[in-house]
Structure 1
Amino acid sequence: MRHLTTPLTRTLHPLVSAHTYQRWAYLIIGGALLIPYLMAALVLSTLLTSPNPTTAAQATADPTLWALTLLIGTTLITATALITATRTGQLHLARALLTPLDPTPTTSRWRTTVWLHLHLTLGMAACLATMVALTEAALLAIAPLAPQPHPIAQGPFTLFGYGHLTHPLWGPPLALTWVLALIYTIALTGHLLTKAAPHLLGPTPTDRLAAAHTHAHRLAERNRLARELHDSLGHALSVVTLQAATAARLIDTNPDFARQALTHIADTARTATADLDHALGLLRQDTPTPTAPPPDLGDLTHLTQATQHTGTDLTCHIHGDATRVPALLSRETYRIAQEALTNALRHAPHQPLTLTLHTTPGQLTLTITNPLPPRTTKPHRRRRTGGRGIQGMQERAHLIGGTLTTRPTTTHFHTTLHLTWKETP
């Protein structure tokens, strides 16, 4: 018996499936949407072909009337399909009642036109089939109770009714047959629409490629913001931590220096808060966010001074004209210097640091050196993952065509950035 269960289940599935009735509703909506077009086309074609008909039968008997009605109706539906909002509405309606669709937008208007014609035509057919089939089923179902069977006329058509039955008891089984035939017809029509929807409403390969490029660009921008936040806030937190520790240590012996450190803590915190607000505003993308110019090598003095205010002995050697460095390279070099100093403050606090910047036409070399902590004389080893800070610096250097090396020795740790670019005449 089990081998009969699957075919039987498949046969009965359209009767109990919610998709059948959702698609039925979708078809009925299509038929309802067609009625205004049909009425407008019929009125216009009547005025054009038979402005003063003697009888309704004379007007409706003219084949030119129906041909013109079809032409006008098709034109009106096509014009509606060219409206951008039409595709959006059809997409939402099909996604809710037919099948899940890729939300990627598409600009293919001819496919929208084909889909709208298909939806409205099949919808009207489903409306008529529903009206006729359910009416006939009702008439057949009450056939055994009818005192005098006779055919039922509706408009110009004489329907099957129960007047042609050889025996009234055949009415209920035939009524059930009408209902089942209607349901299976609707299920088949809805299935065909579901199969056609992704091809006519879904995105084309070109649309998907454009959406993928947009998504990749958005991810790259978010990654850039993540690096900016990591470098800016990481440096600010490291500076604040060291300045707070220094202020606490010197509050009794050197209160002036402690107060100065607390002032710099407030300044650093305000700057970090502004950077965070700016990044969050860009991520929200709902309100325009004023963009402050990002720091570059021109702000290197402020960076070194903030580091020195932590009580760290930082020696700077700047050779060459940093203003000749291209803007993008200047900004990224500043961020790399900021992250390198942050790493040095984190892993070797209160140790003397050296920053050397050497620029020549078309070349730049940045080196930051810090001694290893006194607790070890072994060569400094990075964490297995390389640390997010070092990895972020390497990513920045790679994106601007430079190289970043980290070289531990017995007593010191060296971070070196080397950049080259083509000088513009």
Structure 2
Amino acid sequence: MSGALGILFGGRARRRWIHLVLGGALAMPYVLVGSVILGPLTGADDLFSSLPLQLGSFAVGLPLAAVTSLFPPTRALESAAVRALCGVDADALAQGPARTRAERGRTAAWFTLHLGLGGIVSGMSLAVPPFAATLLVLPLLAPLRDNPLALPPALDHTWVLALAPVAGLALPAALAGCAAACEALLARSAPALLGPTPADRLAAAEAGAADLAVRNRLARELRDSVGHALSAVALQASAARRVLGTDPDFLREALAAIEETTRRTVGELDAVLGVLREGDAPGTAPAPTLAADLDGLLRRTRAGGRRVAASVDTGPAELPALVSREAYRIVQEGLGNALRHAGEPVRLRIAATGGDLEITVENRLGTRTAPRPGGGHGLRGIADRVRLLGGASHAGASGDTWRLHVRLPLKGSP
């Protein structure tokens, strides 16, 4: 019983009833225009004194409502009302205005259905309550039959007077049931008539994929720049602490490397965060490249006390800009892994062979630390960069050596 009362008079039912009443309110101007059109045709002076003429005005006004609903913003406004009052999932409704002919046609069908059902329920909501109240007190009005306000003869029978209160109680429930049925029909029809088209869903999927790609790119850039810098600074600070008071030259070199690393990282962080702003802010630091920044990367890595043997068999300045930038990040991540987990020495080889740029980082396997929560994304980031450039990568242990090998095409890269 409580479930049935909730369906008819609960919070959602009341909100949906308001949605129907709004439809009836929107229908009123069209009904008035319909009465202006229908009046000269029927010769009636007062259309609202006759129920058939009122229904005729309503029927004439609905096609006019369908025509005016062809304006593109109608779909967005109706979708907002359905989401707020009918409880329809927002993902099932289109967000923007109707643009194509099919979208406008479906919006016109929805608008006509909303105003039609809303007008009917609104009219019933105005007429049923006073009529139900009259039926409830009808037995008390029986003594007035000799009065100028006497009841119609049909209501003067004893059995009619006895059943009138029952009918008075049943009418509000019937009205609530009718309103619930009409709104259920609207809620079921909303996704079909106001929902996104396949083109809308495709556009939303493409926008989501583009947003995910930007987020993944930002995550790679932040991890590669900031993560590597923090690892390098931690190693350099540890080396400086060990030689404190015994090797002032190395101490000065380590502190200078820490200063340079943090300064560069702030610039790189500003460049990455510029992507999140409303357009790239002018003056942000450019992304590092293999041609311009490899020597500094090696110097800062060695300042932490690691022995790094580097062999470069190609001119980094001759590399395409995109390949040079991504290659720098790959080398940075490879050296960062060696700083965090590996033993010495670390061997780096960069060579251009057969139209490809090959990067190899090898190091002796050391005592690997326990993986930190949320870590372990470095090799995945390398694989993502390599895949986007159409290359190939492999990383793994071979005996007591860890080897990272990457091949990037120099021509035809996206």
Distance 1:258 1:418, change over 3 A: same
Distance 1:317 1:14, change over 3 A: closer
Question: Are residue 397 (structure 1) and residue 386 (structure 2) matched?
Answer: yes
Question: Are residue 126 (structure 1) and residue 121 (structure 2) matched?
Answer: yes
Question: Which of these residues, 64, 75, 94, is aligned with residue 87 of structure 1?
Answer: 75
Contact 1:405 1:415 in 2 (8 A): yes
Separation of aligned partners in 1, 2:119 and 2:318:
72
Q: Deviations over 1:334-378 (max 9, x none)?
A: 1111100001111236x33222211246211111222334x7xxx
Contact 2:268 2:286 in 1 (8 A): no
Question: Are residue 312 (structure 1) and residue 301 (structure 2) matched?
Answer: no
Question: Which of these residues, 257, 262, 271, is aligned with residue 264 of structure 1?
Answer: 257
Separation of aligned partners in 1, 2:47 and 2:76:
42
Greater shift, 338-347 or 71-80, is seen at 71-80
Separation of aligned partners in 1, 2:196 and 2:243:
66
Q: Which amino acid aligns with 2:87?
A: T
Partner SS for 1:311: coil
Distance 1:410 1:55, change over 3 A: closer
Contact 1:236 1:268 in 2 (8 A): yes
Q: Which amino acid aligns with 2:22?
A: I
Distance 1:10 1:76, change over 3 A: closer
Structure 1 residues 238-277: aligned runs within 5 Å: 238-277=231-270
**Which blocks of at least 5 consecutive residues in structure 2 are unaligned?**
none
Partner SS for 2:89: coil
* Distance apart, 1:417 and its partner CA: 1.2
Q: Which amino acid aligns with 2:192?
A: H
* Distance apart, 1:275 and its partner CA: 3.8
Question: Are residue 96 (structure 1) and residue 92 (structure 2) matched?
Answer: no
* Distance apart, 1:148 and its partner CA: 1.7
Separation of aligned partners in 1, 2:382 and 2:11:
55
Distance 1:386 1:364, change over 3 A: farther
Question: Are residue 228 (structure 1) and residue 195 (structure 2) matched?
Answer: no
TM-score normalised according to structure 2 size:
0.81
TM-score normalised according to structure 1 size:
0.79
Give the percent of matched residue pairs that are identical in Structure 1 and Structure 2. 35
Partner SS for 1:300: helix
Q: Which amino acid aligns with 1:295?
A: P
* Distance apart, 1:328 and its partner CA: 2.8
Separation of aligned partners in 1, 2:121 and 2:153:
23
Question: Are residue 210 (structure 1) and residue 198 (structure 2) matched?
Answer: no
* Distance apart, 1:70 and its partner CA: 6.0
Q: Which amino acid aligns with 1:118?
A: L
Structure 1 residues 150-299: aligned runs within 5 Å: 164-167=155-158, 168-280=161-273, 282=275, 287-290=278-281, 292-298=285-291, 299=293
Separation of aligned partners in 2, 1:272 and 1:162:
95
* Distance apart, 1:327 and its partner CA: 3.0
Structure 1 residues 260-409: aligned runs within 5 Å: 260-280=253-273, 282=275, 287-290=278-281, 292-298=285-291, 299-348=293-342, 351-360=344-353, 362-373=355-366, 387-409=376-398
Question: Which of these residues, 129, 134, 139, is aligned with residue 134 of structure 2?
Answer: 139
Q: Deviations over 1:228-271 (max 9, x none)?
A: 22211221011101111122233323334423432332332243
Q: Which amino acid aligns with 1:233?
A: V
Contact 2:65 2:111 in 1 (8 A): no
Separation of aligned partners in 2, 1:423 and 1:21:
63
Could you say which residue in structure 1 is the equivalent of 2:18?
Answer: 25
Distance 1:421 1:38, change over 3 A: same
Separation of aligned partners in 2, 1:97 and 1:135:
27
Q: Which amino acid aligns with 1:243?
A: Q
Separation of aligned partners in 1, 2:280 and 2:314:
36
Q: Deviations over 1:153-202 (max 9, x none)?
A: 9xxxxxx9897342333321121232222122112111111111111122
Q: CA RMSD in A?
A: 3.9
**Which blocks of at least 5 consecutive residues in structure 1 are unaligned?**
1-7, 154-159
Contact 2:271 2:286 in 1 (8 A): no
Q: Which amino acid aligns with 1:111?
A: R
Separation of aligned partners in 2, 1:42 and 1:244:
87
* Distance apart, 1:75 and its partner CA: 3.5
Contact 1:31 1:125 in 2 (8 A): yes
Distance 1:275 1:118, change over 3 A: farther
Contact 2:69 2:107 in 1 (8 A): no
Partner SS for 2:166: helix
Distance 1:150 1:414, change over 3 A: farther
Q: Deviations over 1:87-110 (max 9, x none)?
A: 222112212222322435364222
Separation of aligned partners in 1, 2:35 and 2:389:
67
Q: Which amino acid aligns with 2:27?
A: L
Separation of aligned partners in 1, 2:147 and 2:200:
56
Separation of aligned partners in 2, 1:371 and 1:111:
67
Separation of aligned partners in 2, 1:165 and 1:275:
92
Contact 1:140 1:162 in 2 (8 A): no
Q: Which amino acid aligns with 1:164?
A: L
Separation of aligned partners in 2, 1:152 and 1:180:
32
Distance 1:54 1:215, change over 3 A: closer
Separation of aligned partners in 2, 1:211 and 1:72:
36
Could you say which residue in structure 2 is the equivalent of 1:4?
Answer: none
Contact 1:101 1:202 in 2 (8 A): no
* Distance apart, 1:71 and its partner CA: 5.8
Separation of aligned partners in 1, 2:219 and 2:279:
19
Partner SS for 2:288: coil
Q: Which amino acid aligns with 1:196?
A: S
